[in-house]
Amino acid sequence: MKCRKCGAPAVINMRHHKLALCAAHYLTWFVQQTERAIHKYRMFTHDERILVAVSGGKDSLALWDVLLRLGYRADGLAIDLGIDDGVYYSEHSLEMTQAFAAQHPETRLHVVSIPARYGESVPEVARRKRRVQRPCSVCGLIKRHEMNRVALEEGYDVLATGHNLDDEAATLFGNVLRWQCTYLRRQAPVLPANDAGLARKVKPFCRSYERETAAYALLRDIAYIYEECPFAVGATSLEHKATLAQLEHDAPGTKLHFYLSFLKARREGLFSAEQQEGTALHPCQKCGQPTIAPDLCAFCRLWGK
């Protein structure tokens, strides 16, 4: 197979785009695709400070790399969740992230240790709250709180995550199956900041397939952690990804069409203005971050005695 641009041997064939590219042209194409998404959804500008949530995985490190190549002022945030489980997952993730940051002295890496800051690791909190079978819910809650906290405290204009199209399509699929309207209303490439204390959140890779971000990381020689989180085994999201992968195999472009059609429906009024507003938020009495609870937010209740 030959590159569509120059005729050299292709390193990737994207059936959904009917496009095969060599290494050099693919790297250029991928960066341009990301920049188009940033501009299309008005995520941020070169004048703004960006905080990239990095896990040591291919998506977040690839995103950080792309933003730096595009000239954005992008720093990283690594959250040590204390996930050991015999594989030292958090330790390896942090090592990968720190190694990347060391190669880019023009940027800064913030590191937050959940065990050091709050006295317990994610697995320990999950056991105490009797959510051993569903630790992902605890983990997600903690990460969202800390990402928002650091973004606000450090004065960043926007928080960027490496969620790719496969992630977004699987999340959408799961929420549609259960018609989780609260979550559906908040699924978008950009979640704007608000007066209640939520930082602006963006997903520049929302239109990029996972294999595309993986190809970019490999071709850029970015070292990343290959292992899945040990607690992700059996997660519903993985089952949704497998279902969508089969549909994509049979009809290339299914995931992209599914996601983009949802965004179009949102723009055309899938949710009314009243629904879009949602429930009013107010500051948590302990940490000050926004919540719909009358006193303490869900994060602070995790640590309550």
The per-residue DSSP string of 19-69 comes to EEE-HHHHHHHHHHHHHHHHHHTT---TTSEEEEE--SSHHHHHHHHHHHH
pLDDT in tens, 139-157: 889 999 999 999 999 999 9
- Asked if the structure places residue 191 within a domain, the reply is yes
- Asked if the structure places residue 18 within a domain, the reply is no
Q: What is the pLDDT of residue 261?
A: 97
| More confident call, 215 vs 302 | 215
Q: What is the mean pLDDT of the chain?
A: 91
In 3D space, the residue among 293, 291, 297 whose CA is nearest the CA of residue 198 turns out to be 291
Separation between Cα atoms, residue 231 and residue 81, nearest integer Å: 12
pLDDT in tens, 78-128: 999 988 765 678 889 999 999 999 999 999 999 999 999 999 988 888 888
Tell me if residue 255 falls in helix, strand or coil. helix
- Asked if the structure places residue 23 within a domain, the reply is no
Q: Give the pLDDT band of residue 272 (cuts 50, 70, 90).
A: low
* pLDDT at 222 exceeding the cut of 90: yes
- Asked if the structure places residue 164 within a domain, the reply is yes
Global pTM reads 0.92
- Asked if the structure places residue 160 within a domain, the reply is yes
Alpha helices (H) in the chain, listed in sequence order: 23-40, 58-69, 89-102, 114-118, 122-128, 135-153, 165-178, 181-185, 210-219, 236-250, 254-267, 273-277, 298-302
CATH number at residue 93: 3.40.50.620
Separation between Cα atoms, residue 17 and residue 8, nearest integer Å: 18
- Asked if the structure places residue 13 within a domain, the reply is no
Separation between Cα atoms, residue 160 and residue 191, nearest integer Å: 10
* pLDDT at 278 exceeding the cut of 60: no
Task: Find out whether 69 and 204 touch, Cβ atoms under 8 Å.
Answer: no
- Asked if the structure places residue 267 within a domain, the reply is yes
pLDDT in tens, 71-89: 999 999 999 998 876 567 8
Which residues have C-beta within 8 Å of that of residue 76, sequence separation ≥ 6?
51, 52, 53, 54, 64, 97, 100, 101, 107, 108, 109, 110
Q: How many domains does the chain have?
A: 1
Domain boundaries, position 203: 31-302
| More confident call, 209 vs 137 | 209
- Asked if the structure places residue 129 within a domain, the reply is yes
